[in-house]
Structure 1
Amino acid sequence: MVTYPLDRHLAAAVPASRAQHTWTPADGPLPTLYLSHGAPPLFEDTEWMAQLFGWAHRLPKPKAILIVSAHWESAPLSLSSSAAGTPLVYDFGGFARRYYEMTYATPDATALARRVAAAMPDTEPVHEHRGRGLDHGAWVPLKVMYPDGDVPVLQLSLPTHDPHRLLELGRRLRPLRDEGVLVVGSGFMTHGLPFLRRADVEGTAGPPGWSRDFDAWAADALARGDVETLADYAHKAPGMPYAHPTVEHYTPLFVTLGAAEQPDKPVTTTIDGYFMGLSKRSFQTA
């Protein structure tokens, strides 16, 4: 009988996740995460799934998750539905049918929606899209990391690509970490899909130079806590615009950094390497 890598992952990860320690105030504030999320092919990559689940399992299981995905660019600031079991958004094409039939039914997140709205100034009201579920930038990695779907999840839209506005948005979300909320920025450290070669997709060549160069630049700036260099990517980052012909997979990291206790403190890289020539670099802050 043929089993998919995801099925094998879930068989081991679900019971381990159920036994995971749940956050309490004694654990202190949760870190913030930036992760490279992949797409449905993540579910076929045993090593990558193990890396993401291992990362999640080393942390206390959060009381709730607030995630900003590259795949929901919307202003004014918006939240996905807080209702339990809201259907997912299958915002991809050309994959096996099973990926369009997957579910990830998470608990009611009304309390988190209220906290997020309260954290915003009067000049930035938050609109809840009551019919919108999680898109694949949220549910794909979370299904791997928290496979039992037992943590309330809300998705927050990406209202701008201005790094300093996103840092400020993250700063306003910072107090949630003291309440056991995991704040996540979900993107891809390089995302030059139009410029991938057949050899990149097939895995028969090393990553393209533009992907290697951008990743090395970002890794160096993150290791130094150099937020201003990261924010000036358009002028300072090598490999542009090939690494990010559009920047929505990069800019969620500024929400991650803004929600950190010290945005300019060096981060901890948890996952590196490449997938189809794209950098999987993912990190957490203190």
Structure 2
Amino acid sequence: MDTFFIAHGAVNVVVDETVPVRSFLQSWKSDTMQETPKAILIVSGHWDTDAPTVNLVHGTNDTIHDFNGFPEFFYQLKYPAPGAPHVAQRVKDLLDTAGFGPVKEDKARGLDHGAWIPLKLMYPDANIPVCELSVQTGKSAEYHYKLGSALAPLRDEGVLIIGSGHVTHNLKDRGPNDGPTPKWASDFDTWVKDSLLNGRYDEVNNCEKVQGYKMNHPKPDHLFPLHVALGAAGNGAKATLIHHSWTDSVISYASYRFTAAQ
């Protein structure tokens, strides 16, 4: 299985046809990935913990409405995907063996909107088991790359690994959708693209040193899922840009596919 970094957007993406990423996610099964995974492991920028944590859910995942200020309709949306306790246990074993433990488990937590929003568009039937893994913003980008590397065996077991976040994520400085993208956002987005497409992964894993990093990521929770997905693709993986658009002037929806070396 290839691994992916997907921009998830706000909850309005589910219904707002003017948001370009919506049609990209809706065409996922026809245009991006025809093979149906046995299970999905998704790493969301909306679950930040001190130690790696998986939601080990038996039964159906709850839908977490972790957003504010939207019409009541959005709080009624559900994504009742089954849990993937076997994947959660496998993630724990792999990460514990690789020295990232002790990995914690949460048997009550469902899927936050960084997980269920894209999945609701990609796999609307909600019939594929889903497990979520947290990020640790107290750690580094390189830490998350190595964490992803430890999860690489899951690809051969039919598990689709998705990082869900954004390449740029400064909500404080948002502007109109049709407004110009400021240089600090476009420069960082271009740097990520050029570094990934040209295989400069060491630079990506040291992104904290790059000019504009803190401006684009006051908190790195939405960028670290990219590093997990990249690491999980294995050494020598090839990056492909599979979608690119902007909203709010400063929010990049750049999404990437990582194909393992043959």
TM-score of the alignment, normalized to the shorter chain, above 0.5: yes
Q: 2:22 aligns with which of 39, 42, 49?
A: 49
- What's the counterpart of residue 170 of structure 1? 148
Aligned partners of 2:21 and 2:245 also within 8 Å? no
Find the aligned partners of 2:16 and 2:232 in 1 and give their Cα distance.
Answer: 30
SS at match of 1:228: helix
Q: 1:273 aligns with which of 225, 245, 250?
A: 245
The amino acid that maps onto 1:117 is: K
Aligned partners of 1:210 and 1:240 also within 8 Å? no
The amino acid that maps onto 2:192 is: A
Aligned partners of 1:195 and 1:242 also within 8 Å? no
Unaligned runs of 5+ in 1: 1-29
Any residues of structure 2 matched to 1:233-272 within 5 Å, and which? Answer: 233-236=207-210, 238-262=211-235, 264-272=236-244
- What's the counterpart of residue 71 of structure 1? 46
Find the aligned partners of 2:179 and 2:83 in 1 and give their Cα distance.
Answer: 45
Any residues of structure 2 matched to 1:39-188 within 5 Å, and which? Answer: 39-46=10-17, 47-57=20-30, 58-59=32-33, 60-121=35-96, 123=99, 124-160=101-137, 161-188=139-166
**Post-superposition offset of 1:41:** 2.0
Find the aligned partners of 2:58 and 2:72 in 1 and give their Cα distance.
Answer: 26
Aligned partners of 1:69 and 1:138 also within 8 Å? yes
**Post-superposition offset of 1:231:** 2.0
Deviation by residue 1:24-62 (Cα, 9 ceiling, x = unmatched): xxxxxx100101110112123334222013234331111
Aligned partners of 1:75 and 1:157 also within 8 Å? no
Find the aligned partners of 1:188 and 1:55 in 2 and give their Cα distance.
Answer: 18
Percent of pairs with identical residues:
36
Find the aligned partners of 1:240 and 1:109 in 2 and give their Cα distance.
Answer: 34
Aligned length: 251
**Post-superposition offset of 1:141:** 0.6
Deviation by residue 1:146-205 (Cα, 9 ceiling, x = unmatched): 110010001001134412221121111101111110111111111111112xxx23x231
- What's the counterpart of residue 186 of structure 2? 212
- Structure 2 length normalisation: TM-score? 0.90
Find the aligned partners of 2:58 and 2:75 in 1 and give their Cα distance.
Answer: 21
SS at match of 2:242: strand
Find the aligned partners of 1:96 and 1:168 in 2 and give their Cα distance.
Answer: 40
Structure 1 residues 164 and 148: CA distance shift in structure 2, 3 A: same
Structure 1 residues 107 and 265: CA distance shift in structure 2, 3 A: closer
Cα root mean square deviation, aligned: 1.6
Deviation by residue 1:93-114 (Cα, 9 ceiling, x = unmatched): 0011111111111124122122
Find the aligned partners of 2:155 and 2:170 in 1 and give their Cα distance.
Answer: 32
- What's the counterpart of residue 35 of structure 1? 6
SS at match of 2:27: helix
Deviation by residue 1:119-167 (Cα, 9 ceiling, x = unmatched): 1225502222111101011011111111100100010011344122211
Unaligned runs of 5+ in 2: none
Find the aligned partners of 2:102 and 2:132 in 1 and give their Cα distance.
Answer: 15
Structure 1 residues 56 and 226: CA distance shift in structure 2, 3 A: farther
- Structure 1 length normalisation: TM-score? 0.83
